[in-house]
Amino acid sequence: SKGTYEFYMLKEIDEQPGVMRHISQDYLDDNNSTKVDPKIAAAVAESDRIYILAAGTSYRAGLVGKHLFEKYADIPVEVGLASEFGYHFPKLSKKPFFIFLTQSGETADSRVVLKQVNERHLPSLTMTNVEGSTLSREATYTMLLKAGPEIAVASTKAYTAQIAVQAVLAKAVGEKKNIQIAKDFDLKHQLALAAVGMQQLVDGKEKIDELAKKYLANTRNAFYIGRGIDYAVALEGALKLKEVSYIQTEGFAAAELKHGTIALIEKGTPVIALINDPATADLTRGNIREVESRGANVMVFAAKEFAQVGDDVVLPEIDYYLSPLLTIVPAQLLAYYASKNKGLDVDKPRNLAKSVTVE
Ligand code: F6R
């Protein structure tokens, strides 16, 4: 039940620290090793390429997963929209492994791909929140997200759970391959930092409500920008905001905006900039100046070392590769308040269904 919450979306945003602890308990032991079915780790370790297929928010979680698998498992990753992949199968590598990310485990577009994967007798894994769901039954292996039931149509805790469980698998595969940085990856500590940081961000939600009131009350469009892993989060932040508030929002690679779309920036256009990557923080600040000089109102969500005074939302400490676990929280809250402040039904945006079982 919603308990004292007006909407499930806020309840589920609030539950994320607990989800991180739950995943840590169930998938990691006290010696900083992973507890993953050895058959799964071995099957992925043998592959020469991972194909991650998904839709919507789960696809955007896969874009973060690509960074994690390439870093810690040292395997190239292709991330695809299931709805495109199913009808335009690319030329596959020699030993592909397929991962289906799906909260519900019922998404028809993903099932179309899995059917073809099975026809080719290729190995697959479904990461899902629902035990016994269709995609779970049809894949070779299953890993559960352990996020608890997600009721709000807009996905929140399933997204962060998908990132955390992909990190677990990336580390498990890296351990199997004897990769030193995977063995050294202090995931137990990092997920503890994620839980504490998420709680801190949720506790600061009034500030996000203020930002929503100040910047988003009367706007028809908005942009999220970021580079590297922040670009993946920009795409999810934009989806969250548009689906629940109906503000047309696009996520852009920070530098790509100036190659065309900057023409849409006018006085008062809200831009949310994400900054976690030390390699590109200064460049993204440059992109912020570009849009500000054209009249944009910029909100910044930045890691402590890159935050400036003023309205910047400071993201608590965490490893760069897991920064999406924290960066997304103010983005989820911003979407929530933008919707609620307009008097909309946050949990049931128009035209949307929680699980999409048609192609
Ligand atoms: C967005 C959202 C949808 C789903 C998408 C995939 O907030 O909830 O975009 O992410 O329909 O659903 P699953 O993960 O159940 O396959």
> Could you say which residues of the chain have pLDDT below 50?
none
Q: Measured in whole angstroms, how far is the alpha carbon of residue 213 from the centre of its chain?
A: 25
pLDDT at 300: 98
Indicate if ligand 1 lies below 6 Å from the C-beta of 355. Answer: yes
Residues sharing a CB contact under 8 Å with residue 265, sequence separation 6 or more, in sequence order? 223, 271, 291, 294, 295, 296
Contact at 8 Å (CB) between 57 and 161? no
* DSSP SS3 for 214: helix
Question: For residues 306 and 286, what is the distance between their CA atoms, to the nearest angstrom?
Answer: 13
Indicate if ligand 1 lies below 6 Å from the C-beta of 168. Answer: no
Taking the alpha carbons at both ends of the chain, their separation in whole angstroms is: 31
In ligand 1, the atom with minimum distance to the C-alpha of 356 is 11
Provide the token pair at 308: 């400036």
Q: Letter for the amino acid at 28? A: L
Pairing mode, strands 248-253 and 221-226: parallel
Q: Is this prediction's ipTM beyond 0.90? A: yes
pLDDT at 355: 86
Residues sharing a CB contact under 8 Å with residue 296, sequence separation 6 or more, in sequence order? 223, 265, 268, 269, 270, 271
Contact at 8 Å (CB) between 69 and 49? no
Q: Find the 208 Cα to ligand 1 centroid distance in Å.
A: 24
Indicate if ligand 1 lies below 6 Å from the C-beta of 57. Answer: yes
Q: Find the 60 Cα to ligand 1 centroid distance in Å.
A: 10
Question: For residues 298 and 269, what is the distance between their CA atoms, to the nearest angstrom?
Answer: 8
Indicate if ligand 1 lies below 6 Å from the C-beta of 151. Answer: no
pLDDT at 44: 98
pLDDT at 301: 98
- Annotated catalytic residues are 354
pLDDT at 1: 82
Per the DSSP assignment, residues forming a β-bridge with 286 are: none
pLDDT at 336: 98
Indicate if ligand 1 lies below 6 Å from the C-beta of 56. Answer: yes
Residues in the chain: 359
The protein residue whose alpha carbon is closest to atom 3 in ligand 1 is: 56
In ligand 1, the atom with minimum distance to the C-alpha of 104 is 15
pLDDT at 311: 77
Provide the token pair at 278: 């030390």
Provide the token pair at 313: 């939302």
Provide the token pair at 175: 């351990």
**CA-to-CA dists, residue 180 to 27, 34, 187, angstroms:** 19, 14, 14
Prediction pTM value: 0.98
Pairing mode, strands 313-315 and 270-275: unpaired
pLDDT at 289: 96
Q: Find the 310 Cα to ligand 1 centroid distance in Å.
A: 34
pLDDT at 102: 98
Contact at 8 Å (CB) between 193 and 317? yes
Q: Find the 223 Cα to ligand 1 centroid distance in Å.
A: 21
